Structure formats: structure tokens, C-alpha cells
Amino acid sequence: MLHPGPSVARMAFVTLTETSAIPADPHGAGPASLVSARPALVTPALLLRFVSMIGASTSFYLLLSVLPVYAGGNAAGLVTGALMLSTVAGELATPRLLARFGYRRVLAAGLLLLGLPALALMAPPDLATIVAVCFVRGLGFAFTVVAGGALTASLIPPERRGEGLALAGVVAGVPAVVALPFGLWLAARGGYPPVFVAAAVAALAALASVPWLPERKPAVGRAVGVVAGLRTAALVRPAIAFSATTMAAGVVVTFLPLAVTRGSASVAALALLAQSATSTLTRWRAGRHGDRHGPAGLVIPGLLTSTAGMLTLALTASPTAVMTGAVIFGAGFGITQNATLTLMYARVPASGYGTVSALWNLAYDAGLGLGAVGFGALATRTGYSAAFALTAALMLTGLPAALRDRRGPHQTDDAAIIRKEIASAPMTPCHSTTGPRRT
């Protein structure tokens, strides 16, 4: 595995006397001018949250590229599409479930739905079973990312939101770096059943940490509903820009192992490893940069970089081009991940964290699913190389939203828009972790 540089733990455990600019304004245009002491980033509660994060991420990524290969041929897009369709549906419903059942129950349900269905794949191969398992696992993944994402955000000091979300991204990304290529490697050498068992164990073992997570208590305020969030341009614009890159990510994880024509097994696994590792590292660096200079300026460079990477991947016959394209795409994808998520959290009160988590993950998973299904249909007519190039062109459709989001605060007060949406939304119970939220 690529060495990530300075250890995450050493970078995360900082002294309380270290200073930096306070967080960027809600537009993400840049940091405020005041200087304040930096609160601790890593706490026992956040470390405990990382346990369930690692378990869910490992279970998900072990099978993400394996099941399309297991299904084979034209069914690859259907498998990933079913997974992402149910994930999107689950993400739309999760904020309401959080209001009723709380973080811990929803997170536990998600881990169960990720782990148990993987064992059903031990039966003789059948496309209907594979699609059904993917559908159920998609619901489980939705519960874990939305409930877990909102909980994680509430445990991070706002002054260090970008860095904290980047650290969470690293923790979730390391299993992706390892599990995504390892699943393919293990399936090629040991067969599919060991991969299915490993995916089940990873999710189910993480259940042991859930009872020890902070429980929510009612908090004052109105929750920002998903519908209100979808009506708020300040949240939708970053989500649209991000979905352009996630569409391409769905193509990469689903079809790169099928598209590489020379040394396919080793080249595809190494390319996925390089993409995941680069994405994790740039997500961390983008978070540190965003806390100091504002994340808005990173969205367009991230989108353009990932587009360049996808265009390079069109040279599927060249192992060098495939590796280079994977690294470039991973770099842009990591930057865009952190910048858009940080922007969206900065634009809502704490009561809106669940909705931001749902919208951002909706953009993530809808892009993954649509990219996989659409690319599968396209590649049958054009071939893989042309389809990769056309995907790169399609990614540029996210550029207008990103450009629009760079406008100055003097033109539109995004925070005022969101406050208006909250005021007009139906009252929804809103909760926080034990103790006050860091707002």
C-alpha cells in the first residue's frame, strides 16, 4: 500500500494552543479574519465512530467491484445499478428514520443489512439473487452513511470542519484503498465465497461498537427536510458538481476491470488501488486547505482534474495510461469530495446535518448508479475506450453549477435562503448527541 506520509494519528492529535483562522463563511469564499485556539479534533467518541465507519466501508467496497465481475457481461451495470438505486431510496428515507429512531438504531440496522445478505451469495450463482442482495445491501449502506455522517459532523468542531471531515474520509477511505482491489485479488485466487464471508464479517463485527456511541437527545430548532434541501440552491449546486464526478467513479469501479485489455487482472487491481489511495490523500489535503482558505475555490479544480483523469483512462490498451488516469482521477475526486461536503455543512445549522448527509450521499450514489447503468448501455455500442471519452465530456455538465456557486456573497445571501426554508418547513423533531452540539 502507498505510504500516506505523516501519520494520520499524529496530524489529528493537536494541542489546544495551536491557532488558525476560524472557519470560512457559509459561502466557502474564504476564512474569517479572527484567530482563535483550535479545539481538539480527535475525541474518544469520534474514535468509537471510526469503528463502525471502517466496518461498513470494508464490507461495501469488498463487493463493489467483485459482484459486477461475478454477475458477468452485460449484467455488471444492472448489479451496480440495483445497489445504487436502493441506496438512493434509503438515503431519501433515512432523515425521517433518524428523527424517529435515533442514530444508533438506524446505524445498527444499516450494518445488519450490509452484513447478513452477503452470506446469501454463498448459494449457487443466480442473477436474481445477486441483484436482490445488492438491493438490500444498498439500503443498509444508505443507513450507515447518512446516520453515521450526521453523527460524525456533530462530533467535529466547526472551526476544523474541513480537516475533520477529511480525517473521516481518510478513515473511511483506507478500507476502500485496501478492500476494493483486495476483493478482486481474493476472488481471483481463492474464489468468491471467501470474499462474501469477509464482507459479512466486516459489517457484523462493527455492530459491537454501536451501543457505546453517543445517543441523541432532543435539541431546539427545526430540522431541514430533504425536500427543503432540494429546493435550496446553496445545497443543490455543490451536490450537482459532485455528482458529475461520482458518475465517473461508478464507471471506474464497475467497468475498469472489464475494460483493461492487457494484463487485466493485475493492472485493474493496481489502478483501483492507486485511485483509492490518491483520492484519500487529496481529500485530506483539501480539508486542511479549505479550513484556511475556504473550500469553494477547490470545487472547479477538482472537477476538471477528475475529468482529465477519466479522459486518460480511455486509453484502455495502455497499462501506463490506465495507471496515470487512475491517479489523476483519484486526485480530482478526493478534492471534490471534501470541498463539496464541507461547503454544504457550512451552509446549514446543526439541525440540518442529517439532510446535508442525505443530499451529499444521494449525489454520490445516484451518480455511481447512473454512471454504471448508462455506461453499460453505451459501451455495448461504442466500445470501452470511446465510452470513457464520452463520460469525460459528460462530466463537464457539472461545471455550470460549480461556476455559479463561486459568485460572491454580495449577490445572494445563501444563509438567509436556508433560514427561510427552515422557517417554512414542517416541524420535525431534531436531536443532537449527548451534551451540546459544537455549533
End-to-end distance of the chain based on CA atoms, in angstroms?
37
Query: Which pLDDT belongs to residue 436?
Result: 27
More confident residue, 99 or 130: 130
pLDDT exceeds cutoff 90 at 312: yes
Q: What pLDDT digit, counting tens, does each position of 210-251 carry? A: 999 987 543 445 556 677 888 889 999 999 999 999 999 999
CB atoms within 10 A of CB 331: 24
| Spatial distance between the Cα atoms of 77 and 82, rounded to a whole number of angstroms | 8
pLDDT exceeds cutoff 60 at 27: no
| Cell digits of residue 58 | 470494508
| Spatial distance between the Cα atoms of 168 and 283, rounded to a whole number of angstroms | 10
Query: Which pLDDT belongs to residue 424?
Result: 52
Q: What pLDDT digit, counting tens, does each position of 253-273 carry? A: 889 988 886 556 688 889 988
Q: What pLDDT digit, counting tens, does each position of 376-424 carry? A: 889 989 999 999 999 999 999 999 999 988 764 433 445 555 555 544 5
* Residues β-bridged to residue 31: 24
| Spatial distance between the Cα atoms of 149 and 131, rounded to a whole number of angstroms | 26
Does residue 260 sit in helix, strand or coil? coil
Mark 216-226 as b/e (b = at least 16 C-beta within 10 Å). Answer: beebebbbbbb
Does residue 434 sit in helix, strand or coil? coil
| Spatial distance between the Cα atoms of 54 and 202, rounded to a whole number of angstroms | 8
User: What type of residue is 224?
Assistant: V
More confident residue, 237 or 21: 237
Q: Using an 8 Å Cβ cutoff, are 149 and 274 in contact? A: no
| Spatial distance between the Cα atoms of 52 and 49, rounded to a whole number of angstroms | 6
How much is the mean pLDDT over the chain? 81
| Spatial distance between the Cα atoms of 303 and 224, rounded to a whole number of angstroms | 28
Query: Which pLDDT belongs to residue 351?
Result: 76
User: What type of residue is 84?
Assistant: M
Q: Which residues contact 25 (CB under 8 A, 6 or more apart)?
A: 32, 294, 346, 409
What's the Rg (C-alpha) of the chain? 20
More confident residue, 324 or 14: 324
Lowest-confidence region among 106-115, 123-132, 220-229? 220-229
| Cell digits of residue 90 | 434509503
Q: Using an 8 Å Cβ cutoff, are 302 and 283 in contact? A: no
Query: Which pLDDT belongs to residue 231?
Result: 86
Q: Which residues contact 284 (CB under 8 A, 6 or more apart)?
A: 8, 166, 167, 169, 170, 334, 338
pLDDT exceeds cutoff 50 at 427: no
